[in-house]
Amino acid sequence: MFDVIIVGAGIVGVSIARELSRYDLKCLVIEKSSDIANGSTKANSGILHAGYDAKEGTLKAKFNVLGSQMYEEICKELDVPYKRNGSLVLAFDDEDTKQIETLYERGLKNGVKELSIIDKNTLLSLEPNLQENVVGALYAKTAAIVSPFELAIALAENANENGVEFMLNTKVDKIYKEKDHFVIETNKGAFKSNYIVNAAGLFSDEINDMLGGEKFRIIPRRGEYCLFDKSSGNLVTRTIFQPPSKKGKGILVAPTVHGNLFVGPNAREIDIRDDVSTSREGIEEIIRGANRSVKNLNLRDIITSFAGVRATPSTGDFVINIPTKNAVNAAGIESPGLTAAPAIAPYVVSLLENQGLKLYKKANFINKRKNTKLFINMTEDEKRNALSVNSLYGRIICRCEHITEGDIVNAIKRPLGARTVDGVKKRVRAGMGRCQGGFCMPRVVEILSRELNVPMTEILKSEEGSYILTGRTK
Amino acid sequence: MERDLVIIGGGPAGLAAAIEAKKNGIDDILILERDKRLGGILQQCIHNGFGLHVFKEQLTGPEYAQRFIDEVEALGIDYKLETMVLHLSKDKRITALNPKDGLIEIKAKAIILAMGCRERTRGALNIPGSRPAGIFTAGSAQRFVNMEGYMVGKKVVILGSGDIGLIMARRMTLEGAEVKMVVEIMPYSTGLKRNIVQCLEDFDIPLLFNHTVTKIHGKHRVEGVTIARVNENKRPIEGTEKFVECDTLLLSVGLIPENELSREADIDINPITNGAYVSELMETSVEGIFACGNVVHVHDLVDYVTMESYLAGYGAAKYIKGERIKWEKIFKTIAMKGIRYVVPNFICPQNIREEVNFYMRVNDVYKNVYLVVRDKKGVIYKIKKNHVSPGEMERIKLSKEILQRVDEELVFELKEVEE
Ligand SMILES: Cc1cc2nc3c(=O)[nH]c(=O)nc-3n(C[C@H](O)[C@H](O)[C@H](O)COP(=O)(O)OP(=O)(O)OC[C@H]3O[C@@H](n4cnc5c(N)ncnc54)[C@H](O)[C@@H]3O)c2cc1C
């Protein structure tokens, strides 16, 4: 019997898990995918929005501003990259200028700090690669960037170090009440708990239905991206937005915390919720869009394209409520959900507490993760030390990102460690570089096979069915 | 650590360069190789076809490499394996890493870059669709099959008719896979003619020109690809799409010289070859740093790599001994009509050994043309070619004597044969 079961190990589920791990509770996270952060949390813009977008009074606005203030500290505790690079919403004409003034006003009402409107000259001196026809911009100094999946994995690891259990490859099919507790049926058997949290992202309406909550629907909207090589990484230093229009929020041009550049996303409603395929038209659309903001975009530097799906709720705002007694929805968390997650988490915990969950602070809560530094990020002294205890740090496996075998073995051995090629990639970036795993993938398969002590043929790229090898040669 | 000559890369280029430098009087040589053994990409090329020019016989990749490895051993040339160079600076300082010595700092008198190239991937092509398992570069599939002994799929489509792709078509077929087709976006193959015959035609594997893969299907593992015919601008033609069921897509869509280190050292890179601009002795724009093999431009025959690399080894030896003449009177080579690029890019006639081999690729398929070399004054050399193709590198040898008389620039171009 668990005190709390959380459905979904995206940024929302793991933020709640870590928050609950501060207390003396028996918690379980159930995730249908093979790894943490394989849903919306895997493929998004990774931007910690300042908070001028959402209408005042909405949950989006409230948690966005709060969350954005909490992240710097959290990233420090978990030793994950965080960069306050600031964001700009460009204006190209009078219409746009009115738009950014509206955003500015809204930002002030939402409590966003360090917000200003800047003129063309200031703008171009900050970002010389913008198109010349810009007329000004809204500048939000508090906007930041993170690596969303690294962040979610770090939160999950830390929750796990503090006692939260995780079941991966486990899909919730049915939930019912038995006496005063829930029974949660999955492909891996049934689990019981007193409280339940729905953080199932794109499928959170289905879980809400299982819980008998007031109806809402998730409208899946896909966004496509192109990722550029690090040699394009300093085309811009701030996150560049376009003014919102009837057609949508526009296309972003932004640096990543690891020094790459990306452009995207567009927005298309799709039929299949987890269809993350890209399309030719989509890619052309985002490149066209990006060229409106910046000049000198070097298409030869594109190293990959990908897509993510937004869990847009039919209600228009985050669905954070009580679907049935002893349950909490944290559903329909679309953008700015990544930013909002650390603020949503304590709120969800308070909703559980209001319903009777007893919270006793753990004396021995560990708020820091250990042993997480990549070789490449170490100081010279740290490098020499690391090498003297573990010679695997001396062998580079991913040439593009300079990731060593020591780093990869760490990624496998850490709490909730990597079990798949994509799991290694998400944790330590092997295969994220310009050759996209062309060189290191076979070696990563070998290392996984050796460390997990399973045959090479059983190593998967990601989900069940994503086998890489089909057998031995003759 | 201080060294006279450090060679980055222990493939055919690095090995040949080391041997030649040694023979020219340089004793303090160190080869740095990131793999577990010397030989580079050749170690996974277990088919025949290497060495026709250099040894006048047909060798497999590993056999060809072994001849050079043996010679390196016999000459007592020093090398470090599993050693990855992390940084290279203009003043010839190298930072490298390996499991045995940890971090290594070396200051070299001269450096030869012989890092080879890497395969272009799906991302660089931006093929739309899903992102399942079952998409491999031909080289990584080759590594799994030839070196590790694992099969990567059962029903295979190959995109790109580069040599590695062609050879993998045969290899996968022999291993029992069904290779459904090779799809090539160009109207011609970028692979060698003999590979098309021996690897495709002999096994009845269709080769579709002017076609490309427009979409990848399959959620977890590849379930198929959509192929389509392309127009002159290489854009898919609507209505010509066809679904091909397969579980594997191999990509043989070209190689990119691996010049991240060269860029770090501020070496000028030719945007057409993606390799360094080099001189008659294979010296780059940074004095004392030489380059040879696929890191300069992608070759289709290892024999040419070897010859080019001997020259780099000779050049580096001259440089270290202070015998390499400072470039005073130099002229440039220029690729014009029909020629995409020429290597080397600048020539200092005083430094030429006996002759210079000019390597070049044409930009399209041409029939009945003259390959012409001229300077300001007029035609210096001319040869008739019945058929030239971007897939096959052309080579022209000019003697020191001729080159000493060149006026200002050396232009390479194609001229139609008048009937
Ligand atoms: C294109 C795009 C761009 C974005 N950009 C930004 C941005 O820049 N800044 C920002 O703040 N936000 C952004 N967002 C929003 C942000 O990504 C999301 O708000 C956030 O990731 C949502 O997290 P989540 O945990 O709710 O959902 P998810 O990450 O989708 O997690 C839900 C998890 O539940 C699991 N699950 C579902 N059903 C079941 C079941 N039955 N049993 C077990 N497990 C189940 C899923 O497998 C999944 O892992 C963007 C989103 C997209 C798509």
pLDDT along chain B (419 residues), means of 10: 97 97 98 93 73 82 92 97 96 96 96 93 84 93 91 97 90 96 92 89 96 96 98 93 98 90 96 95 96 94 92 97 83 95 94 93 94 94 93 92 90 86
Contact by Cβ (8 Å): B32, B6: yes
Q: Whose CA is nearest to atom 48 of ligand 1?
A: A39
ipTM of the complex model: 0.92
Cα-based angle A47, A52, A54 (whole degrees, multiple of 5)? 90
Q: How far does chain B reach from its first CA to its final CA, in angstroms?
A: 64
Q: Do B152 and A469 touch (CB under 8 A)?
A: yes
Q: Do A466 and B221 touch (CB under 8 A)?
A: yes
CATH of B121-253, one of 3.30.70.1250, 3.40.50.2000, 3.50.50.60, 2.40.170.20: 3.50.50.60
A326 lines ligand 1 (CB under 6 A): no
CATH of A83-145+219-313, one of 3.40.718.10, 3.30.9.10, 3.40.640.10, 3.40.50.300: 3.30.9.10
Give the Cα separation of B200 and B188 in Å (integer).
14
Q: Kindly report the CATH number that applies to the domain delimited by A2-41+149-217+315-354.
A: 3.50.50.60
Cis ω for the linkage preceding B62 (within 30 of 0):
no
A7 lines ligand 1 (CB under 6 A): yes
Q: Kindly report the CATH number that applies to the domain delimited by A375-458.
A: 1.10.10
**3-state class (DSSP) for residue A300:** helix
Q: In b/e form, how buried is each residue of A181-215, taking b as 16+ CB within 10 angstroms?
A: ebebebeeeebebbbbbbbbbbbbbbbbebbebee
Cα atoms in the 13 Å half-sphere on the side-chain side of A285: 18
> Which of B133, B137, B139 lies closest to A468 in CB terms?
B133
pLDDT tens, residue by residue, A320-361: 999 999 999 999 999 999 999 999 999 999 999 999 999 999
Higher pLDDT, A242 or B51: A242
A30 lines ligand 1 (CB under 6 A): yes
pLDDT tens, residue by residue, A46-56: 999 999 999 99
Closest-approach residue (CA) in chain B for A459: B133
pLDDT of the residue at B327: 67
Q: Do B121 and A469 touch (CB under 8 A)?
A: no
A182 forms beta bridges with A177, A193
- Mutate which: B100, B103, B131, vs A, most A CBs within 10 A: B131
Give the Cα separation of B11 and B65 in Å (integer).
8
pLDDT of the residue at A101: 96
Q: Do B122 and A304 touch (CB under 8 A)?
A: yes
- pLDDT of A249 higher than 90: no
B106 forms beta bridges with B94
A31 lines ligand 1 (CB under 6 A): yes
Does any CB of chain B come closer than 8 Å to the CB of residue A397?
no
Q: Which atom of ligand 1 is nearest to the CA of A14?
A: 25
What number is the average pLDDT over the span A263-281?
93
B312 forms beta bridges with none
Does any CB of chain A come closer than 8 Å to the CB of residue B245?
no
Q: How far is A287 from chain B (nearest CA, A)?
A: 12
> Which of B98, B137, B144 lies closest to A394 in CB terms?
B98
- Nearest to residue B309, comparing CAs of B348, B278, B274, B271? B278
pLDDT of the residue at B408: 85
Q: How far is A394 from chain B (nearest CA, A)?
A: 4
Give the Cα separation of B99 and A368 in Å (integer).
29
Give the Cα separation of B412 and B419 in Å (integer).
22
B318 CA to centre of own chain:
25
- Nearest to residue A236, comparing CAs of A161, A315, A131, A309? A131
- Which residues, in sequence order, are CB contacts of A415 under 8 Å at separation 6+? A157, A160, A161
Q: Do A302 and B124 touch (CB under 8 A)?
A: yes
Query: What sign does the dihedral B308-B309-B313-B316 (CA atoms) show?
Result: positive
Confidence of residue A239 (pLDDT cuts 50, 70, 90): very high
pLDDT of the residue at A248: 67
What number is the average pLDDT over the span A230-240?
95
Task: Write out residues 127-186 of B within 8 Å (CB-CB) of A.
Answer: 128-134, 136-137, 139-140, 143-145, 148-154, 175-176
A198 lines ligand 1 (CB under 6 A): no
Q: What is the DSSP string of A131-178?
A: -TT--EEEEETT-EEE-HHHHHHHHHHHHHHTT-EEE-S--EEEEEEE
pLDDT of the residue at B163: 85
| Backbone angles phi and psi of A187, in degrees to 5 | -65, -15
pTM as predicted: 0.92
pLDDT of the residue at B119: 86
**What is the domain partition of chain B in residue ranges?**
1-119+254-324, 121-253, 327-419
pLDDT tens, residue by residue, A65-80: 999 999 999 999 999 9
- Which residues, in sequence order, are CB contacts of B170 under 8 Å at separation 6+? B47, B198, B199, B200, B202, B203
Residue among A211, A285, A335, A347 to mutate when testing ligand 1 (max atoms within 8 A of CB)? A335
**What is the domain partition of chain A in residue ranges?**
2-41+149-217+315-354, 83-145+219-313, 375-458
Distances (CA, A) of B58 to A57, A186, A254, A449: 77, 61, 52, 37
Q: Which atom of ligand 1 is nearest to the CA of A36?
A: 49
B78 forms beta bridges with B30
pLDDT of the residue at B121: 81
Residues of A involved in catalysis: 49
Domains B1-119+254-324 and B121-253 in one fold = yes
pLDDT of the residue at A371: 67
What number is the average pLDDT over the span A221-226?
96
**3-state class (DSSP) for residue B291:** strand
Give the Cα separation of B16 and B27 in Å (integer).
15
Place of tokens 């500290």: A73
**How far away, in angstroms, is A40 Cα from ligand 1 center?**
3
What number is the average pLDDT over the span A210-219?
97
Give the Cα separation of B398 and B404 in Å (integer).
10
What number is the average pLDDT over the span A29-58?
95
- pLDDT of A319 higher than 90: yes
Q: How far is A453 from chain B (nearest CA, A)?
A: 17
Q: Which atom of ligand 1 is nearest to the CA of A310?
A: 53
Cis ω for the linkage preceding A243 (within 30 of 0):
no
Cβ neighbour number for residue A415 with a 10 Å cutoff: 15
A303 CA to centre of own chain:
20
Contact by Cβ (8 Å): B53, B16: no
Q: Kindly report the CATH number that applies to the domain delimited by B1-119+254-324.
A: 3.50.50.60
Token pair of A92 as six digits: 């190209």
> Which of B99, B126, B144 lies closest to A305 in CB terms?
B126
Residues of chain B positioned with their CB less than 8 A from the CB of A467: 133, 221
